[in-house]
Amino acid sequence: MNAKEAISLFRFYRQSNHRKRTADSYRFLLQHFDSLFFGHELDSIKPDEIYNFLEQMAKSLYKSTKRLRYAQLKAFFNFVIEKCYPDLKNPCNAPLLSRTFRMPRQTPKTILEKEIVDEMIYNTKNQRNRLMLELMACCGLRIGEPLNIRASDVSERRLTIKTSKSGNESEVAFMPEQAAKRLSEYTGSKG
C-alpha cells in the first residue's frame, strides 16, 4: 500500500469519526506527508525520513505542537496497521523518535485545600466575584463558564453551560442550595 492510498483511506475514516477541529489538524499534517511521500510504499518509509519530515514541518513550532504532529503521524500508521496492513512496522516507534518527541514529565498540580478556597470566597467583597468563585468551587466550572452565564441559563439549582470547553452544545451543572439562593438574589437585584 502506498502513502496516497493510505491517506485516502484514513481521510475517509476521519470524516465520519472525528470532530471538525481534529479532522482539520490531521488534514494539515497529511497534506504535507502526502506531498513528500506521494508514491512511496508505506513499508519503504524509514524512521529517519519520518524524523526529517517532522523536523522540517515543525521547525519553528512549540514543542507541544511537534509532539502533537508526531502523535498524529503515529496514530495514522497505527490505523493503517490495524485496518489493512498488519505486517507493517510503524516507523514512528523508533527509539530516536520516541525520545525526541516524548511527553515531558508531568509535574503534579498544586490543589488548594477546601479551607483556603472557602476563605478566599468569604473574603471577596464584590458580590459578583464572590458568586463566580463560589460557582467555580462548588460546581466545578472553568473560569470562562461563570462569565458567560445568563439569567435564562439558571433554573432552580440547575445551570446550563452553553459555551463548554468539551465542544458539546451545552452542559449542565448543579449548584448547592445556598449558592443557588445567592445567585437568585443577585440576578433579582440586577433585573
pLDDT at 134 over 70: yes
DSSP state of 80: H
The stretch 135-162 carries a mean pLDDT of: 87
pLDDT at 45 over 80: yes
Neighbours of 130 (CB within 10 A): 17
Give a yes or no: residue 123 inside a domain: yes
Give the helix ranges, DSSP H, for 104-175.
114-123, 127-139, 144-147
60 shares a domain with 119: no
* DSSP annotation string for 150-164: -GGGEETTEEEESS-
pLDDT in tens, 2-17: 788 888 888 777 766 6
Specify the CATH number for the domain of residue 136: 1.10.443.10
> What is the number of structural domains in the chain?
2
144 shares a domain with 181: yes
Residues pairing with 155 in the sheet: 158
91 shares a domain with 132: no
Query: How big is the chain, counted in residues?
Result: 191
pTM of whole model > 0.75? no
pLDDT at 24 over 80: no
Percent with pLDDT over 70 in the chain: 95
Residue 111 in contact with residue 124, Cβ under 8 Å?
no
pLDDT in tens, 50-74: 888 888 877 777 878 888 888 888 9
pLDDT averaged over every residue in the chain? 84
Domain span at 166 = 114-190
Q: What is the pLDDT of residue 166?
A: 67
Q: What is the pLDDT of residue 119?
A: 94
